[in-house]
Amino acid sequence: MSVLKNKYSFFLSSSIKQFSYYKHLGEKTMEQLREEQLFQLPSKDTNSISIIVNHLYGNMMSRWTNFLNSDGEKDFRNRDQEFEAIIKTKMELDDKWHKGWNCLFDTLNKLSADDLEKTIYIRKKGHTVLEAILRQLSHYSYHIGQIVFIGVLFTGDDWKSLSIPKGDSKKYNEASFSKGERKEHFTDQFLKKP
């Protein structure tokens, strides 16, 4: 395998881990909330978690369906409707959450290193596959950050940190440095199965 192909393969596997990490953060946030909080607006002119999930779902289905062969802004998408409170139940929210992420991961897992230099289009604007992956990784992390922030607002003092808790940085660093230098992805500690 050429050096470039090897780097592209690493980029793909790293991207999948990072998308998985953001999915994990969203799920760990929603698990801390009461069902009604998933539909509650944090303030006027903001989005609820259910609206953000609906937008992520619409974006993911549009971008990752037939990814290499059709424009990423599909005819079936109604982006404006994604920002309306159309999800009414936790079951519907969970269904859209999983369908969107499954569409993304099914597509990413089928890509090869050779695909990363191919051109795809989003609203007729050309992107390499690599650029399109980075675009969506940035977009989804932005919205997952919103979900986490809403979760922190709603849980207050009951919030369970998804990262290094405040005041624990020294302890965390000591534990990490005590293991010595090693090669591992930063998400590995969060995505390990119990």
Instruction: List the domain boundaries for the chain.
Output: 43-179
Q: What is the pLDDT of residue 100?
A: 98
Per residue in 51-99, pLDDT (tens digit) is 999 999 999 999 999 999 999 999 999 999 999 999 999 999 999 999 9
Burial of 80 (0-12, 13-18, 19+ CB in 10 A): exposed
Q: What percent of the chain has pLDDT over 70?
A: 97
Computed over every residue of the chain, the mean pLDDT equals: 93
CATH topology of domain 43-179: Four Helix Bundle (Hemerythrin (Met), subunit A) (1.20.120)
Q: Tell me: pLDDT of 5 over 80.
A: no
In angstroms, the CA 169 to CA 59 distance is 36
At residue 1, does pLDDT exceed 60? Answer: no
Give the integer Cα–Cα distance in Å for 113 and 163.
Answer: 31
Label residue 193 by pLDDT band (50, 70, 90): low
Residue 176 has pLDDT above 90, yes or no: no
Enter the pTM of the model: 0.92
> In which band, very low, low, confident or very high, does the pLDDT at 25 lie, cut at 50, 70 and 90?
very high
Calpha distance 23→8 (Å, rounded): 22
